[in-house]
Amino acid sequence: MILTGYTFDSADSIKPFLEEPGLGVTSRCCKELATRLGCHVIAGYPEKLVGKNNDSNASEDNANLLKRLVGHNSAVLFNSKGLCGNYRKTNLFDADKPWALPGDGFATFDLGNPLGRISIGICMDLNPAPSAVWTSIDEGPYEIAEYTLDQDTNLLVILCAWLDSGKSLDSRWDISTMNYWLMRLYPLWMKLEGRPSKNSETIVVMCNRCGIENAPF
């Protein structure tokens, strides 16, 4: 959520910043950059929820929760010709839950040459699904990495607002977090027997917010 920051403690606090895909200030910024530079631009933003999911089978508590949620933690993708795609975060972090609904799963977009197929994830998507347990290095699960291989993806982009681990205070880089990211992408860099792939490599691009959320200037 590049222009708004990430932490909002309630649905009411984020409502003024919600955007419709392709129409909001983040989309306009991405479109302008993509057009001016002749490139692809991707950015995270809080997407406005249009039409509530009314599940008649939901429990009373879940139904009340759905009524309070107002959006998605999303990413929008533009090229010089316009909107290419929109992705909604699948695995929600605690900071998302006061206001956001999860998306329906990871997304892949075919951008043609030279980029090819691009898959998108947002922060917590790198972790196991909430119902899963990361049992071991060999066993996983590695949902987004496996998805990327299954989709024969050329480029995986993951947008993050990942917390500082506090374990690399003497380094310019948070080595502990970077090592964790690498391990969560294990199937992409460890050759797995019996898994054919059309692509010789998958390029991974990750970005992360820096600074302190909600800090006074």
| pLDDT digit string, tens, across residues 48-82 | 988 755 444 544 555 566 678 889 999 999 998 99
CB-based contacts of 60, cutoff 8 Å, min separation 6: none
Average pLDDT, integer, range 136-140: 81
| pTM for the predicted model, two decimal places | 0.83
65 touches 55 (CB < 8 A): no
In whole angstroms, what is the distance from residue 209 CA to residue 217 CA? 17
**Weakest-pLDDT range from 40-54, 79-93, 96-110, 137-151:** 40-54
- Count CB-CB contacts under 10 A for residue 203: 14
In the chain, what are the domains?
A: 11-208 (3.60.110.10)
